[in-house]
Amino acid sequence: MATIPNDDLADFDVETLAGSADEIRERLKGVHADQIVALKLEHTSKGTALALAEAVRLIAPMIVRKLADRQASTLEKLVDALVPSVPLPDHLLTQARMNAEARKAVFEAGEWISAADLSRAAGFSGKNGSTQPNKWKREGRIYALRKGTSDFYPGYALDPEAGFRPLPGLAPVLTVFADALDPWDIAIWFASTNSFLGGARPMDLLSRAPSRVLAAAKDEVAGVEHG
């Protein structure tokens, strides 16, 4: 398969000729070109032929560039297919397995509520059940875990006595974690025993001792920043 180098495209030039067969033969006698493409038109006026020639002159460079891009893309896919896959090192496989197990444990450790169920519990109505929970998430009042195409919100971060609104103590913790942990890391932290909290899990203290949970979050981030 021949490809067109991008550098050559910068110098790509097209000249079109229109006329009768005899006229074209005569004009081609002094033409030196790598390639020539001819169009045979039946029952066409000279004006139409000239207009078509001008149109071809204008769009030919774009067509050639498109063909070159497509050839390059095909070549790249072919190379990817021929390059053998490199197996992951054992330590990365172990890390991935541990991460998967930790995420599984997170879901088993607490009640996770879909956006639609949370909207119903909080008394919101409408076709889009995720609107209000998503608004809380954008405002930093709560966080969610993404599984597939759905968001799930932590039940321990909601206050049933306040209509299943986010606990006020969660937002400051999320602010502390904003640049340090992603949602899955935050969920794992809340579900894990914490030495700063005397072995308790942050999720169990969030409603009744939010200041202690916030202090533990700051201690966690300080440890991450200092290695």
The pLDDT tens digits of the residues spanning 15-24 come to 777 778 787 7
Task: Using the Cα atoms of residue 207, residue 211, residue 216 and residue 220 in order, give the sign of their dihedral.
Answer: positive
Cα(195)–Cα(215) distance, integer angstroms: 12
pTM: 0.59
Work out the pLDDT band at 140, boundaries 50, 70, 90: very high
Other C-beta atoms closer than 10 Å to the C-beta of 225 total 9
Q: What is the DSSP string of 64-93?
A: HHHHHHHHHHHHHHHHHHHSPPPPPPHHHH
Work out the pLDDT band at 66, boundaries 50, 70, 90: confident
In contact, 73 and 6? CB cutoff 8 Å:
no
| pLDDT for residue 12 | 58
| pLDDT for residue 21 | 79
| pLDDT for residue 197 | 97
Please list, in sequence order, all residues whose beta carbon lies within 8 angstroms of the beta carbon of residue 75, skipping any fewer than 6 positions away: 1, 3
Per the structure block, which two tokens stand in for 204?
């169990």
In contact, 134 and 150? CB cutoff 8 Å:
no
pLDDT tens-digit readout, 93-129: 888 888 888 888 888 877 899 998 999 899 887 666 6
pLDDT tens-digit readout, 25-65: 777 777 777 777 777 777 778 788 788 778 777 777 777 77
**Within 13 Å and on the Cβ side, how many CA atoms surround 193?**
3
Per the structure block, which two tokens stand in for 136?
């809380």
pLDDT tens-digit readout, 146-175: 988 889 999 999 999 999 999 999 999 999
pLDDT tens-digit readout, 79-95: 777 776 777 788 878 88
| pLDDT for residue 42 | 79
| pLDDT for residue 68 | 78
Cα(117)–Cα(123) distance, integer angstroms: 10
Cα(119)–Cα(129) distance, integer angstroms: 6
| Of 225 and 214, more confident | 214
Per the structure block, which two tokens stand in for 175?
């602010």
Q: What is the DSSP string of 21-44?
A: HHHHHHHHTT---S-------SS-
- Arithmetic mean of pLDDT, 185-211: 95
| pLDDT for residue 2 | 40
| pLDDT for residue 166 | 96
Q: Long-range contacts of range 222-226, CB-CB < 8 Å, 24 or more positions apart?
A: 224/180, 224/181, 225/180
